[in-house]
């Protein structure tokens, strides 16, 4: 299963990347519809291998899952993922400079089932794809608006 999103954010690339990789804020406040990120190992972000447990509501119930920082290449790319016996998920956040104060943001999610249980989970998600895409778009649009407001407040 693949999902993607792209948008232009009216902030410099470095600023956008810094805000999107504010791991302390994620641990405290969460990200979009995700609950706060609870650290799960002694490795602390921005070091690769940092892991968290978080949750999101899906079909009226909270769903818990783990994330790991798989790649971090300032100021352009962050990859979070989860590799387990059930599924293999990779979420790539990319920030490309479009101008002095404009950044093209792209997000791509790639999920593959590794078991029968994983296939059932992904099929359930696929059935709710339109709702998930709409929620994802709202979360990322809001993220861009918060970045723009923070940049304007700091300028």
- What pLDDT score was predicted for residue 72? 97
CATH H-level, domain 2-154: superfamily:
START domain (3.30.530.20)
- What pLDDT score was predicted for residue 14? 96
- What pLDDT score was predicted for residue 101? 96
- What pLDDT score was predicted for residue 11? 98
Domain ranges of the chain: 2-154
- What pLDDT score was predicted for residue 129? 87
- What pLDDT score was predicted for residue 64? 85
- What pLDDT score was predicted for residue 77? 97
Residue stretches of the chain with pLDDT short of 50 = none
- What pLDDT score was predicted for residue 135? 86
Characterize 10-34 residue by residue with b for buried, 16 or more Cβ atoms within 10 angstroms of its Cβ, and e for exposed: bbbbebbbbbbbebeebbeeebeeb
């Amino acid at each position: 299963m693949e999902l993607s999103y792209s948008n232009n954010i009216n902030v410099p690339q470095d600023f956008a990347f810094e805000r999107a990789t504010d791991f302390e804020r994620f641990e405290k406040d969460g990200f979009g519809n995700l609950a706060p990120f609870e650290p799960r190992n002694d490795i602390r972000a921005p070091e690769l291998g940092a892991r968290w447990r978080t949750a999101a509501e899906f079909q009226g119930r909270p769903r818990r899952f783990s994330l790991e920082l798989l790649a971090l290449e300032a100021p352009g790319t962050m990859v979070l993922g989860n590799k387990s016996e059930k599924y293999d998920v990779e979420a790539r956040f990319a920030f490309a400079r479009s101008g002095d104060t404009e950044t093209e943001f792209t997000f791509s999610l790639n999920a593959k089932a590794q078991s029968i249980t994983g296939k059932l989970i992904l099929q359930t998600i696929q059935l709710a794809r339109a709702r998930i895409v709409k929620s994802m778009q709202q979360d990322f649009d809001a993220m861009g608006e918060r970045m723009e407001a923070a940049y304007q407040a700091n300028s």
